[in-house]
Amino acid sequence: MTLARTWSVGLAGVRGAMVEVEVDIAAGLPGVALVGLPDAVVRQSVDRVRAAIANAGGEFPARRITIGLSPASMPKQGSGFDLALAAAVLAAAGTVPGSAVDHLVLLGELGLDGSVRGIRGILPAVLAAARAGHDQVVVPTANAAEAALVDRIDVLAVETLGQLVGHLKGETRLQPHVRGALPPEPPSPDLGDVVGQAAGRRAVEVAAAGGHHLYLAGPPGAGKTMLAERLPGLLPALDEQAALEVTAIHSVAGTLPADAPLVTRPTFEAPHHSATMAALIGGGSGQIRPGALCRAHRGVLFLDEAPEFPRAVLDTLRQPLERGQVTIQRAAGAATFPCRAQLVLAANPCPCASAAGDTACTCSPLERRRYQSRLSGPLLDRVDLRVELPPVTRAAWLDGLPAPESTAVVAGRVADARAAAGERLAGTGLTVNSEVPGRMLRERFVVPRIALRLAERALERGAISVRGFDRVVRVAWTLSDLAGRTVPGADEVAEALGMRLQRAAA
């Protein structure tokens, strides 16, 4: 047989697309022609495949070989095509039966010694194979646990090319990998560690209950980072669909732990303030990778020392925060990643950030104003909750006041509030109050005008924008859910407005 084909998967963002690998062996001068828009890594796979076949005890054909990757118009990137190329070459040369690879999906990188190495993006690739109707996929042993997360498809794990050849010849059959039990989740930081800061604790609880963005301002040591780190622990565990979405993103990014193939808890991303636009949103010169915002999908993106980030980098968050996804365009193609994350910003009141407060501050009013203006108005307008944290007092720290509530207690209230919101939003496709569009707030989930009087006055005098008004209403609904009420009243609207205007008035 001089013509053989098999299958692999190419990735565009977190979506996989089936790639047909065809190999034709003909008479002529020995050489290999690889067609179908391969990138440099894919072109180099020919040399890896040649060495791997030789070191696995086989023989690479010394004839004219044409390898086609279809669809030819889709760019092919990465080393995950190595295993499929090797199987197709061996089938075309008659080393293995062509019928054995005709409908098989193969994923994996080959070492020169014939070993099969793990690759990124296995989960979305196997999901694509299952959607296309394939019933078997061959993956590296290192990726077997991740691939086994997908139902309706048998996962065959191989460590060497020799194992695959033996299986295809029928000599030593590979058995489908059985999914093992997930390891226990490591303990998360407890909210009971945060002393004092009643306003901050309340804001974190409201943010968790409604999925709202949060801005924390205060002197060093006030507890901004501690509160942000404990927010994921208040969020409910991810459902099956969300867990697969988040796991697929981390698989493509290469940040999925080997001992935890499925992400079941909301993630926490805290990039340094020197992060570039590509690091925060996503990008790259070759294959497009998800940034910190995308890796925080269904979790928390925490930007500590937010004014130290370049303003242009921060402003790139505005559109993704509204849409819940980001599309990155490059000359070679585009990739779309989901990024429905909760944004938490933290900032000191001024550049010197004196722990002693304003009395010891050495910054001029102009310096303070410039520092605070690094966070643009349009970005802050998308943040629902803005809280000013005072320094922790001696009484709260040393005088044995009652222990603050733990994460478990607060998470229980958050779960009840989310359940109430989910019941109200049933049939809309929405799950939390922060996602409710403004039109639906005005037509379906109507708050009595008498309760909105204070917010209307703030809108009239320009203290909040129309977007800000809608966000006040959303927070009021969350406060109502936490209080066990069916409709927000004047108290909930006033508290929601106070949380939005607190920073502006500080």
Crossing angle of the two packed helices 240-253 and 122-131, in degrees rounded to 10: 120
What's the average model confidence in pLDDT over 379-394?
Answer: 85
User: Pick from 378, 399, 420: which residue ends a domain?
Assistant: 399
Domain co-membership, 164 together with 235: no
In this prediction the pTM is 0.90
Instruction: Identify the bridge partners of residue 376 per DSSP, sorted by sequence position.
Output: none
- Asked if residues 96 and 6 have their Cβ atoms less than 8 Å apart, the reply is no
Are the C-beta atoms of 414 and 208 separated by less than 8 Å? Answer: yes
Domain boundary residue, one of 399, 423, 444:
399
Q: Are both 37 and 128 inside the same structural domain?
A: yes
pLDDT of residue 349: 84
Averaged pLDDT for residues 452-467: 92
Q: Which pLDDT tens digit goes with each residue over 358-374?
A: 666 788 888 888 888 88
Distance CA 93, CA 95 (A): 6
The count of C-alpha atoms lying within 13 angstroms of the C-alpha of 233, restricted to the half-sphere facing its C-beta, is 20
Token output for 268: 């926490």
Please tell me whether residues 212 and 87 are part of one structural domain. no
Query: Mean pLDDT score of the chain, rounded to an integer?
Result: 90
105 inside domain: yes
Read off the pLDDT of each residue in 260-288 and give the average, rounded to a whole number: 89
One domain for residues 108 and 229 = no
Say if 16 falls within a structural domain: yes
Within this chain, do residues 88 and 137 fall inside the same structural domain, yes or no? yes
Report which residue type is found at 19.
V
Section 79-94 average pLDDT? 95
Do residues 503 and 345 lie in contact, with contact meaning Cβ atoms separated by under 8 Å?
A: no
Helix or strand run (H / E) with residue 16:
strand 15-26
Please, which residues bridge with residue 116 across strands?
110
Residues 203 and 163 in one domain: no
- Asked whether residue 165 falls in the same domain as residue 208, the answer is no
Taking only the tens place, the pLDDT of each residue in 392-441 is 765 555 555 677 889 999 999 999 999 999 999 998 989 999 999 989 99
pLDDT at 154 over 70: yes
- The pLDDT score that the predictor gives to residue 401 is 63
One domain for residues 58 and 204: no
Q: How confident is the model at residue 233 (pLDDT cuts 50, 70, 90)?
A: very high
Q: Are residues 234 and 407 in contact, defined by beta-carbon separation less than 8 angstroms?
A: yes
pLDDT, tens digit (0-9, with 9 covering 90-100), for 41-73: 999 999 999 999 999 989 999 999 999 999 998
Q: Which residue has the tokens 């995950």?
A: 80
- Quickly state the pLDDT bin for 1 (edges 50, 70, 90): low
Q: How far apart are CA 5 and CA 96, in angstroms?
A: 12
Q: Which CATH number characterizes residue 387's domain?
A: 3.40.50.300
Structural domain includes residue 473: no
Report if residue 481 sits inside a domain. Answer: no
Q: What pLDDT score does 504 carry?
A: 43
Looking at residue 505, its pLDDT comes to 41
Cis peptide before 71 (omega within 30 of 0): yes
Summarize pLDDT for 198-209 with one digit per residue, the tens. Answer: 899 999 999 999
Instruction: Check whether 313 has a pLDDT greater than 70.
Output: yes
Average the pLDDT over 247-276 and give the result. 91
More confident residue, 392 or 297: 297
In this predicted structure, which of 177-191, 192-206, 462-476, 482-496 has the lowest mean pLDDT? Answer: 177-191
For residue 182, the tally of other CB atoms under 10 A from its CB is 13
The CA distance from 37 to 69, in Å, is 8
Confidence of residue 506 (pLDDT cuts 50, 70, 90): very low
Domain extent for 378: 191-399
Percent of the chain residues past pLDDT 70, beyond the cut? 95
CATH number for the domain spanning 155: value is 3.30.230.10
- Kindly list the distances between the CA atom of residue 363 and the CA atoms of 77, 352, 359, 376, in Å, as whole numbers in the listed order: 51, 7, 11, 21
What is the enclosing helix (H) or strand (E) of 379? helix 377-380
C-alpha–C-alpha distance, residues 148 and 180, integer Å: 9
Amino acid at 139: V
Cβ of 350: how many Cβ atoms within 10 Å?
21
Residue recorded with tokens 């498809």: 153
The residues with which 303 forms a beta bridge, in sequence order, are 345
Q: 349, 379, 399: which is the final residue of a domain?
A: 399
The residue with greater pLDDT, 221 or 40, is 40
Asked if 156 and 208 sit in the same domain, the reply is no
Asked, for residue 480, whether it belongs to a domain, the answer is: no
What is the residue-wise DSSP string for 249-306? Answer: HHHHHT---TT--S--S--EE---TT--HHHHHEE-SSS-EE-HHHHTTTSEEEETTG
Here the tokens at position 415 are 């779960």
7 forms bridges with which residues in the sheet?
20, 105
Looking at residue 153, the DSSP 8-state letter turns out to be S
The string of DSSP codes covering 406-424 is PHHHHHHHHHHHHHHHHHH
In a domain, 505, yes or no: no
Same domain, 105 and 163: yes
pLDDT at 334 (0 to 100): 82
Q: Tell me which of 158 and 392 has the higher pLDDT.
A: 158
Does residue 132 register a pLDDT over 70? yes
| HEC-encoded secondary structure of 330-344 | ECCEEEEEECCCEEE
- Whether 204 and 148 share a structural domain: no
Q: Is residue 87 part of a domain?
A: yes
Lowest mean pLDDT among 81-85, 328-332, 429-433, 475-479: 328-332
Beta bridge partners of 156: 138
Residue range 330-343: average pLDDT? 87
Query: Per the structure, how many domains does the chain have?
Result: 2
SS3 73: coil
Spatial neighbors of 467 by CB under 8 A, at least 6 apart, are 381, 382, 438
Q: Is 373 exposed, middle or buried (0-12, 13-18, 19+ CB in 10 A)?
A: exposed
Asked if residue 309 and residue 204 are part of one domain, the reply reads: yes
| Domain annotation covers residue 286 | yes
